[in-house]
Structure 1
């Protein structure tokens, strides 16, 4: 790639070259560590003498802006001072909207590796140690071979056929979802599936009903698109269908493992929800985010499997089963919605990256996905049992468990008044990550409690970490 420099005329060649290079470095267009073209090559590109190039490089090297490395070339000095590019910008006519987005409270943002504690009970995260690196590497190599046979065209918005077929077979087997590959839309995670559904289904002012407490990013998404979000309480059987208001256009729910409390929706409540949606003409969004992992009782099929009228859109993700960094999920909408969603996807980002799609399709076809789920299920079951034993043992005076049979987080409600934010702050100081429940409530009066994720924490760290939590609870009285 050529360095973008423009020389005008035949006067002050060295000055023109110096000023353009210096400006490119000072503004950050040439980043620290960037290798500059050899003087001979740059001279040919610009049509000026090699000596002019060499003299300019020498002057910038003297000023400490460039550095020469014998046998390697000339580089932008990594120690060169970078200018502060933050300037007071113009106030746009849409400034109010800009500030509304900038000030969104994204309470479920995951910290980077540097922000995690040694023993972290963060929810929705899996451990890197369980990821099948060798199997995935073989699948990526397969993906590279597949892509080498294509001509560099854009792919299909709904996803490559082998992956859609693999997803359809997997969720029919594991979750009882009624679909074929023609029903599958591959997305960049579950959040994009929500975004597409909201863009196609809603106009500003339309009403969306969702569980309270519930998944905060979904609520924020609906609100930023101009929808009115009706917060509907939940009880031991799931969302209170009788409280879903008239005029609702869309209903968001997590029936298999209510987020964040964890209880499954009862069979009677599922039937009532489908009947209410049909009465309203509303779409039900079933977010089945982590139900591949089930520990007690008879497996419960997805709500979508009960749908006889085409009112349920089923959303799944590989972020919980594999890794969040893959950014791959899927949407199974009612058939009459799919064409509109495909068009919306096409004008949004066209399609997901095909390399991980090919790799994941091979991963599923070779049986690696089911093998990985079975392996993780055993590990998560052991961690879950350990946390439950402590919650029912020495932590019982302060915390009580919400019954849950799936996923990889547990919710514990406070039996006695506990200052959970203070508890979490003190726990962080002893390298334990704790996360409160109250922030996931909207209009319903919040219950204090903890979300205890066991996907990312090592099994051997659970008891020492909970020992520290117990000691802190004792100190807090």
Structure 2
């Protein structure tokens, strides 16, 4: 590979070469440790004498920017980055807009940057130890062979037909969702599904209603698009539908497993929500983020199945069921929304990764997902029962568990006198990762408590972790 140098004229060539190499080193484009071409080779490439290159190299070496290694060559020396005053940055006209985006960083994004604790109750993380790596590897090999034989170079933004058909069968079996493959849009995780739906529905100033407490990335997304957010409180029956304001265009809910508290939306509330949406002409986003895992009682009927007017967009994901790294989700959309969302998807990234779509379609068709869910259900159920036993036992003086029958997290509300934030800080010092409910509240009064995820913590680690929490609570008391 040739070093990019441009010399003009035939005078001052060594000076020109020195300045261009110096600029590349100062800017970081020529990184520390990079080997420069030998003087003879660079002279031939530039059409100059070897003496010219040697002179430039010598000056850079004198400036401690280059160093020679006997028998190996000339390398750029380690040094500090661009010095103050070497360049002047002009403020961008969009500086205020950029600052607003920087301020939208969510608590969930910050959690991803934190080092995990030895015992971590983080929510939304699945058990990697249960993932069927061998079966997935076989499906990825199939996808590679399929890609090699496939003559096409362009793919539909809506997703591969075989994956959309496999998703249709899966959600019909697990959730009773009534749809055709033509109603399904494949996305890069549920978050992109929310983004696409919001992008084609939300305009600056329009009203969007969502649960409070609720899912922060959804709230941040709607606000970023200029929506006027309405925080609708929840009680033990779910969303307080009667408080949804007139003029609302979009309603975001997690009815099967309210995020973060965990209770399901009662059937009368579901009926009332559909009726209110029909009055408003509002679209409901039903985020069924961890619907596959249910531990007691019959599964609550999905809003999409109850919908008779094309007012529900059903959103699901495989990132939580399988692996976070997979980043594949889907949305079942009403005809009025689907075409616009497909256009937005095409403008965003053309289509989701085809290799992963082929692999996932094969994975679903061969029954690996259902087997994986059954296997994880047993594992998660045991973990859940152990946490509930401790909350009903020695931790009962400090916390009350919120009734929840699905997913792989549960919430525990703190009793009066418990300083949740101090507990979290002290627990971190004894290698236990606990997480507060407070960041999920927007306008509703904060109900102090913990979100306890059990997807990523092993069963045998739960008691040692909660022993440390109990000891910390005893000291605080």
Partner of 1:80 in structure 2? 79
Partner of 1:458 in structure 2? 458
Partner of 2:378 in structure 1? 378
Aligned pair 1:133/2:133, yes or no? yes
Partner of 2:29 in structure 1? 29
Q: What is the CA–CA distance in structure 1 between the aligned matches of 2:74 and 2:131, rounded to whole Å?
A: 41
* Structure 1 residue 392 displacement after superposition: 0.6
Partner of 2:163 in structure 1? 163
Task: After TM superposition, list the pairs within 5 Å mapping 1:359-438 onto structure 2.
Answer: 359-438=359-438
Partner of 2:348 in structure 1? 348
* Structure 1 residue 318 displacement after superposition: 1.6
Residues 414 and 303 of structure 1, relative CA distance in 2, 3 Å threshold? same
Q: What is the CA–CA distance in structure 2 between the aligned matches of 1:343 and 1:297, rounded to whole Å?
A: 40
Partner of 1:468 in structure 2? 468
Residues 261 and 343 of structure 1, relative CA distance in 2, 3 Å threshold? same
Residues 187 and 449 of structure 1, relative CA distance in 2, 3 Å threshold? same
Q: What is the CA–CA distance in structure 1 between the aligned matches of 2:38 and 2:363, rounded to whole Å?
A: 45
Q: What is the CA–CA distance in structure 2 between the aligned matches of 1:76 and 1:135, rounded to whole Å?
A: 46
Residues 330 and 471 of structure 1, relative CA distance in 2, 3 Å threshold? same
Partner of 1:100 in structure 2? 100
CA contact (8 A) 1:27 1:85 kept: no
Task: After TM superposition, list the pairs within 5 Å mapping 1:145-164 onto structure 2.
Answer: 145-150=145-150, 153-164=153-164
- Count of residue pairs the alignment pairs up: 476
Q: What is the CA–CA distance in structure 2 between the aligned matches of 1:32 and 1:362, rounded to whole Å?
A: 46
Residues 105 and 271 of structure 1, relative CA distance in 2, 3 Å threshold? same
Unpaired runs of at least 5, structure 2: none
Q: Deviations over 1:61-86 (max 9, x none)?
A: 67654566788765544x33333579
Task: After TM superposition, list the pairs within 5 Å mapping 1:179-258 onto structure 2.
Answer: 179-258=179-258
Q: What SS class does the counterpart of residue 352 from structure 1 fall into?
A: coil
* Structure 1 residue 118 displacement after superposition: 0.8
Most deviating of 214-223 and 389-398: 214-223
Q: What SS class does the counterpart of residue 245 from structure 2 fall into?
A: coil
Residues 208 and 365 of structure 1, relative CA distance in 2, 3 Å threshold? same
Q: What is the CA–CA distance in structure 1 between the aligned matches of 2:71 and 2:146, rounded to whole Å?
A: 38
* Structure 1 residue 290 displacement after superposition: 0.8
Cα RMSD, aligned residues only: 2.5
Q: What is the CA–CA distance in structure 1 between the aligned matches of 2:122 and 2:45, rounded to whole Å?
A: 54
Unpaired runs of at least 5, structure 1: none
CA contact (8 A) 1:177 1:301 kept: no
* Structure 1 residue 357 displacement after superposition: 2.3
CA contact (8 A) 1:163 1:361 kept: yes
Q: What is the CA–CA distance in structure 2 between the aligned matches of 1:367 and 1:73, rounded to whole Å?
A: 57
Q: What is the CA–CA distance in structure 2 between the aligned matches of 1:251 and 1:205, rounded to whole Å?
A: 15
Q: Deviations over 1:375-418 (max 9, x none)?
A: 22221111111101100100011111111111000100112221
Q: What is the CA–CA distance in structure 1 between the aligned matches of 2:352 and 2:26, rounded to whole Å?
A: 36
Partner of 1:317 in structure 2? 317
Residues 88 and 175 of structure 1, relative CA distance in 2, 3 Å threshold? farther
* Structure 1 residue 111 displacement after superposition: 3.4
Q: What is the CA–CA distance in structure 2 between the aligned matches of 1:90 and 1:371, rounded to whole Å?
A: 57
Aligned pair 1:174/2:174, yes or no? yes
* Structure 1 residue 454 displacement after superposition: 0.6
CA contact (8 A) 1:254 1:286 kept: yes
- Give the alignment's TM-score, normalised by structure 2: 0.92
Residues 92 and 12 of structure 1, relative CA distance in 2, 3 Å threshold? closer
Residues 36 and 93 of structure 1, relative CA distance in 2, 3 Å threshold? same
Q: What is the CA–CA distance in structure 1 between the aligned matches of 2:266 and 2:438, rounded to whole Å?
A: 24
Partner of 2:442 in structure 1? 442
Most deviating of 362-371 and 246-255: 362-371
Residues 65 and 457 of structure 1, relative CA distance in 2, 3 Å threshold? farther
